[in-house]
């Protein structure tokens, strides 16, 4: 399960009870509010999605039922990238693309302790671009990124990063 934490109260593209993102596969999503409220979003279509929550605040999003390959979650200037606060868990997917995964997520941090499986990763284009407040990069463990064919601007504009990449 891929998990992220968002804060819908941060001003961005949608209102204070919504979150817009991009995903390349149909998927199910469980949203858990910081007060314990749970919302289920079933059969979310591929492409741009907007989740409408019953209340504003901090939500943990768990992406389920996406298969082990081909899943790609993403952000850009047309999504609620600023609302993303934390990448909590990479999950057991064999990532093939992380293109624009956290593009423009200026308020995000990496707290995931699991190591992503990048053995099939070919596309890292703009995955972490413009994350200007991040001081510590994600832990990629012993991944070599040897299959990567497109790493264009993968870490561009990481002006606050003070820790070395762990690969």
**Tens digit of each residue's pLDDT (9 = 90 or more) over 16-46:** 999 999 998 888 999 999 999 999 999 999 8
pLDDT the model gives residue 167:
52
Cα–Cα distance between 33 and 112 in angstroms, integer? Answer: 19
pLDDT the model gives residue 68:
61
pLDDT at 137 over 80: yes
Cα–Cα distance between 128 and 153 in angstroms, integer? Answer: 8
Cα–Cα distance between 46 and 130 in angstroms, integer? Answer: 25
Average of per-residue pLDDT across 132-147:
88
| DSSP reduced 3-state for 69 | coil
Number of Cβ atoms within 10 Å of the Cβ of 112: 18
What confidence tens digit (pLDDT) does each residue in 105-128 have?
999 999 999 999 999 999 999 999
What confidence tens digit (pLDDT) does each residue in 93-105 have?
889 999 999 999 9
Which DSSP string corresponds to 36-92?
S-EEEEEEEPSEEEEEE-SS-SEEEEEEES--SSS--EE--TTTTGGGEEEEEE--S
Average of per-residue pLDDT across 42-57:
95
pLDDT the model gives residue 105:
93
pLDDT the model gives residue 166:
66
| 156 band by pLDDT with thresholds 50, 70 and 90 | very high
């Amino acid at each position: 399960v891929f998990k992220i934490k968002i804060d819908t109260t941060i001003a961005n593209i949608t209102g204070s009870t919504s979150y817009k993102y991009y995903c390349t596969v149909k998927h199910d999503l469980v949203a858990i509010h910081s007060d314990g409220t749970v919302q289920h979003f079933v059969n979310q279509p591929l492409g741009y999605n907007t989740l409408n929550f019953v209340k504003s605040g901090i939500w943990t999003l768990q992406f389920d039922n996406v298969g082990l390959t081909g899943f790609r979650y993403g952000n850009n200037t047309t999504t609620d990238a600023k609302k993303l606060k934390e990448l909590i868990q990479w999950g057991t997917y064999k990532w093939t693309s992380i293109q624009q995964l956290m593009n423009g997520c200026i308020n995000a941090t990496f707290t995931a302790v699991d190591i992503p499986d990048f053995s099939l990763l070919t596309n890292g284009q703009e995955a972490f671009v413009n994350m200007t407040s991040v001081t510590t990069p994600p832990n990629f463990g012993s991944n070599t990124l040897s299959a990567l064919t497109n790493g264009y601007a993968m870490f561009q504009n990481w002006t606050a990063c003070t820790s070395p990449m762990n690969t």
